[in-house]
Amino acid sequence: MCASALGQSAELSSLEAALGYTFARPELLIRALTHRSQAYELAMESPGKAEESEPADNERLEFLGDAVLGLVVAESLYLRHPSWQEGELTRLRAQLVSRRNMAIVAQAIGLGDHLLLGKGEDRSGGRRKSAILANAMEAVIAAMYLDGGKSAGTDGALQPVREFARKHILGQAADELARELRSGAALGDHKSALQEYLQATHAGLPVYLVESESGPDHRKRFHVELRLRDADGEVGESLASGMGRTKKKAEQEAARRTLELLTGRSTTEEPVES
């Protein structure tokens, strides 16, 4: 075994120790760690080979990992909180699987040190970028799922992910979030709930636009429309609108109606100012 292979093997072993899982097919883990910038550089070095094979980056695994993680977290919350209703479970799941939280988990296990980045991305601080870390974390989760299911069946495939989630995602932080929800501190904050939902579904960013104001100063009424800005910065059509005595209350109402539209669920809590 050459020196570079020995070094890579040692690095993978270190990461596997942090994950609490040893891969039978380490090539899956390598794929999960490969950012598109690195895959592009490799493709430029061997263009003919790249055209004949599956893309070498981790984006397909990221897609699968997002779904697997959502299932495992939903399963755990369903079992741990039997008295909770769908809305409460959805709120907590959205926070736990959000890209922000996935980046935090990735940082906690030192995932950035193991990423395979292109030279330019590495120089620009890619190992510390939240989006890259979150995407890689989801890809690694997918790799664990695929590797664990090679001979164990679907349920066995989920077990490595369950154990990782139990240790790194569903621990004390999840319990604190649950207590916050049950205490009512976070209930009714529709803007936060919408933000969490949009982050979890990668649907875009909310944009609140004041369309009109009416009434005298002591009895103002604000009309706010809510739209979504996509990854390219484009702002779409109005999804919902809200009226209120202040801009914040109008925004809360617009967020509540947007949540109902996107999730198909009725939201009954009174909005609160944020």
Tell me, yes or no, if 51 is annotated catalytic.
Answer: no
Nearest in space to 21 (alpha carbons), one of 135, 166, 132, 153: 166
Q: Is residue 155 annotated as part of the catalytic site, yes or no?
A: no
Q: Which helix (H) or strand (E) holds 143?
A: helix 130-148
- State how far the alpha carbon of 140 is from the alpha carbons of 32, 43, 129, 160, 235, in Å: 5, 22, 17, 11, 32
Catalytic entry in 57, 121, 138, 147: 138
Residue 190 in tokens: 């529709």
Q: Which of 57, 66, 147, 253 is catalytic?
A: 66
111 vs 164: CA distance, rounded Å: 14
Catalytic (active-site) positions: 66, 138
